[in-house]
Amino acid sequence: MKIYVLTIHNPNISMGPNMRLQGFLNKAESQKLEYILPKFPQKKNHSKIHTVLVLLRSLRDIIKNRKEIDMIHVVTPPSYPGLIAVFAKKILRLPYIVDIGDPYAENMALIKNWTTKSIKFKILKRIDNLVYKNSSHLILTSPELTKYIPSQIPHTTILTGIKSASSITPSPLPKNKKCLYLGQYGPLQNLEYIIKVFSAAIKKDPQIQLHIIGQGKCDLDSEKNIKFFSPIQSDAVPSLIEKYTCGIVSLDLKSTLDYAIPTKLLTYLCHGLPVFGTGGIATKTITREANAGVITTKYNLHEDTDNLLRLLKDPEKLENYSKNAVLFAKKNLSLESCSKKAQKIYKFHLQ
């Protein structure tokens, strides 16, 4: 079974939805699946021109190999690659499913300060819904995403796995107070608030450190214990995480982001890294179910600073959170389980 992956995310460096798809690739042989990905440039900086080129190559590949492709797997944001999938279904009679990590129109409205009545938002929302309504199946990363999809869509499945079960193993936490923020940051993350919390905590405990490894924009000046580093490739993440005691999640606390379960959070859980940070309903729910850390749903600098200090001063609690994270990840986040579910979805819609 050949599945063409329509995406604008480079799987070699992306911490987003393609991390899960890359895991599917590793499990494809045992599931008798063959995933076909578009070719991406080697450069880490992915410009708009590169995005257009990837989409054009994808369109060419699908048209050229339409007789060999069984199904198309669209990875969000669907507003760009999804239109190619709609074309492929209408003209080439190729079915497709959509892997939804976020509601793109709503996210763009939040980033660009659009109202839901603006023309730009309405156009994006119509495109999103067009892609959703014509799909055979929607894969969701969070139950909260059902609020953003058309109600008449009959087939949806929640899949959140990102790591092989055999590699979800506990490892001793280091004896330090080094914390890791991994992945992109920008307006949706509101990393400035987390930096304020750490700045306040560092004044009371100079041993605390925060390392931010990713790319984005943060306007707040930081002190020497808070350092920014360039992005790393996904295969370097496991050895990196072993150096840290706590993984940091940061999310703007707007109700439109209640659906979000950041990939970094899932990555931390799979590596047994206790979690601290801000998040909405879905982020807090999965952290609470895993019993693997502290997620706050309100901005209270004094309270959050005290929570961070207490957590980093309690090695026993950190160890328990670490063990709980691994147990939860093995049960709920394994790629083997997701790959089997994906195969069932493909087969069902190809019958």
Q: 164 vs 27, which has greater pLDDT?
A: 164
Looking at residue 73, its pLDDT comes to 92
- Whose tokens are 């060999």? That residue is 68
Do 328 and 269 form a contact (C-beta atoms < 8 A)?
Answer: yes
Of 6 and 219, the structure prediction assigns the larger pLDDT to 6
Asked whether residue 211 carries a pLDDT value surpassing 80, the answer given is yes
pLDDT at 24: 63
Nearest to 173 by CA among 27, 348, 317: 317
CA-CA distance, 295 to 32, in Å (whole number)?
A: 39
Q: Look at residue 76 in the predicted model and tell me its pLDDT.
A: 73
At 300 the pLDDT is 96
Q: How far is CA 151 from CA 101, 129, 145, 154, 266, in A?
A: 18, 10, 11, 8, 28
Phi, psi of 65 (to 5 degrees): -110, 25
Segment 272-287 mean pLDDT? 96
Chain mean position to CA 13: 13
Residue type, position 28, single letter: A
Residue 11 has what pLDDT? 64
For the segment 168-179, what is each residue's pLDDT rounded down to a tens digit?
A: 887 789 999 999
CB-side exposure of 177: number of CA atoms within 13 Å? 18
Please, are residues 46 and 10 in contact by the beta-carbon 8 Å criterion?
yes
Whether 46 has a pLDDT exceeding 70, the answer reads no
Q: Is the whole model's pTM more than 0.85, yes or no?
A: no
What is the C-alpha separation between 263 and 265, in angstroms, rounded?
Answer: 5
Give yes or no for a contact between 185 and 218, defined as CB atoms under 8 angstroms apart: yes
Q: Among 57-66, 90-99, 105-114, name the one with the lowest average pLDDT.
A: 105-114
pLDDT band at 30 (very low <50, low <70, confident <90, very high): low
Say if residues 260 and 102 touch (Cβ distance below 8 Å). Answer: yes
Compute the half-sphere exposure of residue 252: CA atoms within 13 Å on the CB side of its CA. Answer: 13
pLDDT computed for residue 16 by the predictor: 53
Chain-centre distance of CA 326, in angstroms?
A: 18
Which strand (E) or helix (H) includes residue 301? helix 301-312
- Mean pLDDT for the chain? 88
Q: What is the mean pLDDT of residues 232-236?
A: 82
Per-residue pLDDT band at 270 (split at 50, 70, 90):
very high
pLDDT classification of 337: cutoffs 50, 70, 90: confident
Q: How far apart are CA 109 and CA 125, in angstroms?
A: 10
User: What percentage of the chain reaches a pLDDT higher than 90?
Assistant: 59
Residue 17 has pLDDT above 60, yes or no: no
Q: Do residues 161 and 194 touch, judged by C-beta distance below 8 A?
A: no
Which structural domains are found in the chain, ordered by start?
Answer: 2-161+334-350 (3.40.50.2000), 166-332 (3.40.50.2000)
- What's the rounded mean pLDDT across residues 109-129? 93
Name the token pair of 116: 């839901």
DSSP conformation class of 174: P
Question: Is residue 74's pLDDT more than 70?
Answer: yes
Whether the predicted pLDDT of 28 surpasses 70: no
- Residues linked to residue 247 through DSSP beta bridges, in sequence order: 180, 275
Q: Tell me how far apart the alpha carbons of residues 128 and 140 are, in angstroms, rounded to a whole number.
A: 14
Mean local confidence (pLDDT), 125-152: 92
Give the pLDDT confidence of 311-331 residue by residue, as tens digits. 999 999 999 999 999 999 998
Residues 279, 281, 282, 288, Cα dihedral to 10°: 80
